[in-house]
Amino acid sequence: MNSAEQTVTWLITLGVLESPKKTISDPEGFLQTSLKDGVVLCRLLERLLPGSIDKVYPEPRTDTECLGNIREFLRGCSAFNLETFDANDLYQGQNFNKVLNSLVLLNKVTADIGLGSDSVCSRSSSHRIKSFDSLGSQSVLSRSSKLLQSQYRSLDMTENSNHHMVVRAKFNFQQTNEDELSFNKGDIIHVTRQEDGGWWEGTHSGKTGWFPSNYVREVKSSEKPVSPKSTTLKSPPKGFDTSAINKSYYNVVLQNILETESEYSKELQDMLSNYLRHLQTSEKLSPTNISYLMGNLEEICAFQQMLVQSLEECTKLPEGQQRVGGCFVNLMPQIKSLYLAYCANHPSAVNVLTQHSEELGEFMEMKGANSPGILVLTTGLSKPFMRLDKYPTLLKELERHMEDYHPDRPDIQKSMTAFKNLSVR
């Protein structure tokens, strides 16, 4: 793929650009048209650095509004220390190679530290979300026809396989065609068909559809529930006790919540101990700016360590006595207080990052961060937002696999609602 094709695929992978409805003969022209009003660029920046966009015109109608969106993107890109382009050039269709070069570089620097999602440009063609030629939507009929004609070597796992692959979503995926399957990061999907071309078929929440295979990872054998060889999710043998499978998956999901909570807690501790506390004792910034930058991250870190301990104690109890939802409900007032305060301070933190990106980047790299150091810092400060977004999905999956009359179900539902409300504030 050339740089224009790579960039289109990257933007679609991140969910900021809609997949084209037909095969495109001129990817650079398509990209230039798609970016002209600045909306996609603002979506991209918000995807990479949540909270960094101050003002955006979602449906710009004038030259001023389009240029305003583009300039808002360029302002936010200053945190990455990239060589950018002139807003008027993009809007007037001039020097597009500069625009393209900036986006290719942005893809690279964000992929180096895992920001956004996996880099598409660095992947081999066999592991991309889709090859560029197949980005156009395909009808159910055309896809089924290809399968029937054996143009792809596929494995129908529900009929021809002795086992049933289970995968967990690494990223959110929103369907663009009727025969695709939407899911959120952390969801468990039961694979029913695998394709060499990078798209698999699977079942989730009672729906079956296609999804990109590089959006998921296989649940390890140690995590998988034991099930009879002849069993499939769709058609369990007559008399088979499906509650045994639900219990096993309940434990898988619960373990995932605990593991990701522990990882998040460790990431906060590392950010504080390796960088931010050293910054406090340096003379790089004024005490006021350091206070803006850190917000109440120390308090959130201490709280998350306590939360991990509480969840660990919960998992040690028999399943019928586990109160994960109850734990979150009891702690919700504290969670709201901590995270709303962090959210309220974040615009000030972004302002400090933007104004002092050069010296902060140098400081981070001096303390061992990968280059560009400013990106490591901005990513670390965005972790609390990312974690908040995950709670509703994780708890929904836990509810899906718990027994109907489990005493913790009402509190799971309450905590899901509370986290959803908190995420949209």
Instruction: Give the SS3 label for residue 398.
Output: helix
Q: Specify the DSSP element, H or E, that contains 420.
A: helix 409-423
| Model pLDDT, residue 321 | 87
SS3 (DSSP) at 204: strand
Indicate the residue type of 201: E
How far apart are the C-alpha atoms of 369 and 112, rounded to whole Å?
12
pLDDT at 133: 34
Q: How far apart, in whole angstroms, are the C-alpha atoms of residue 343 and residue 295?
A: 9
Half-sphere exposure of 278 (CA within 13 A, CB side): 14
Tokens at 317, concatenated: 């109890």
Please tell me the predicted confidence (pLDDT) of residue 326.
92
Q: Are strands 199-204 and 166-169 parallel, antiparallel or unpaired?
A: unpaired
d(CA 382, CA 49): 7
Structure tokens at 212: 């990109």
Residue 247 has a pLDDT of 54
d(CA 129, CA 144): 19
Tens of pLDDT along the chain (425 residues)?
Answer: 577 877 876 777 566 877 554 445 677 888 898 999 999 999 888 878 777 788 889 889 899 999 999 999 998 888 887 788 999 999 998 999 999 989 988 887 776 554 544 333 333 332 222 333 333 333 333 333 333 333 333 333 433 333 468 888 888 888 777 778 889 888 898 888 776 557 788 888 778 888 888 788 888 755 544 433 333 334 444 444 444 444 567 888 888 889 989 999 999 999 999 999 999 998 889 999 999 999 999 999 999 999 999 999 988 888 888 899 999 999 999 999 999 999 889 888 888 888 898 899 999 999 998 878 888 898 889 889 888 888 988 898 888 888 878 889 899 999 999 998 887 66
> 129: exposed, middle or buried (C-beta count within 10 Å: 0-12, 13-18, 19+)?
buried
Strands 166-169 and 216-218: antiparallel
C-alpha closest to that of 166 among 132, 204, 206:
204
- Cα separation, 342 vs 294, in Å, equals 9
User: What secondary structure letter does DSSP report for 118?
Assistant: -
Q: Please, where are the H alpha helices in 60-178?
A: 63-77, 87-92, 96-112, 140-148, 157-160
- What is the distance between the alpha carbons of residues 44 and 76, in angstroms, rounded to a whole number? 11
pLDDT of residue 112: 54
For residue 165, the model assigns a pLDDT of: 82
Domains, in order of start, for the chain? 3-134 (1.10.418.10), 140-218 (2.30.30.40), 244-423 (1.20.900.10)
